[in-house]
Amino acid sequence: MAGKTHRIGPNLIETTRAFASEENCHSYLEAARWPNGVHCLKCDHEKVFKFTLKGKLKTYADGAKKATPDRFLYQCLKCRYQFASTTGTIFSDTHLPLSKWMLAVAIMCNAKKSVPAKQMERDMGVSYKTAWYLNHRIREAMVDGGDLLGGIVEVDETYVGGKAKNMHAKQRAEKIGGRGVHGKDTVFGMLERDGKVKTFHVPALNRFHVIDKLKEASLLTPALFAPTKAISTNGRRRTSAAMK
């Protein structure tokens, strides 16, 4: 029976072998993203053709010359839109080879605890800036933010901003033009009972912004609400909503 330290999945050596080339990486992403065949990301057309742009020789600041990775692209036969298997993912708009990305993901997933950027720098032989970038992009992708809140969902707001007494006189004159929450940012939060929490920055606490966030982040719909008080456009009134 597997213990607490047991990890299910390929180890670093197996990952390095499986993603040894850029073509292998793109083939893996293609199969994972389009298991039923590649579709256009713009018009969802089924007929696309694949082509490869060979990498070019690039001279870096230290005088070293290295070839950039080959680009494996698709073009839709209907709308002529060009895209790649990395379009719209954490791997898009990066000059780092996908083989290093896959190794970084494996290091993060196999670690029992978080991996510092300095350790990533040493293990992968990249600069600290690149290691820090990899860490943050991978962590962002691992955040469970896709599930909608359900069940009993509580909502509330708070106002974030420094105390007026701690501000410089000029800054206080620019930001604090009234009393209470004037000049502070509004943060709207949603709490699933015994579950997850989601927070959003909203320009103002009114029905236009709040209802949109409720629809975006929860399974609640207008038909499920029985509002006893409306949210006014100036944000001075609150909503007391109950499930029907």
Residue 115 has pLDDT above 70, yes or no: yes
Instruction: Report yes or no on whether pTM surpasses 0.75.
Output: no
Average pLDDT over residues 115-129: 89
CA–CA gap between residue 96 and residue 130 (Å, rounded): 9
Under the banding of pLDDT at 50, 70 and 90, the label for residue 164 is low
Task: Decide if 201 contacts 212 (C-beta within 8 A).
Answer: no
Q: Which amino acid is at 29?
A: L
How confident is the model over 197-220, as a mean pLDDT?
Answer: 76
| CA–CA dist 86, 41 (Å, integer) | 11
| AA letter at 24 | N
Q: What are phi and psi of 233, to 5 degrees?
A: -70, -20
Q: What would the DSSP string read from start to end of 40-99?
A: -TTT--S-EEEEEEPP-EEE-TTS-EEEPPPEEEEEETTT--EEETTTTSTTTT--S-HH
The residue type at 143: V
More confident residue, 192 or 174: 192
Strand partners, 192: 153
Q: Is 138 left (phi over 0), alpha (psi -120 to 50) or beta?
A: alpha
Across 26-30, 65-69, 136-140, least confident range: 65-69
- For 34-73, write each residue's pLDDT tens digit: 988 898 988 888 889 888 887 777 777 777 777 777 788 8
Interatomic CA distance for residues 159 and 180, integer angstroms: 10
Q: Which residues pair with 74 in a beta bridge?
A: 50, 83
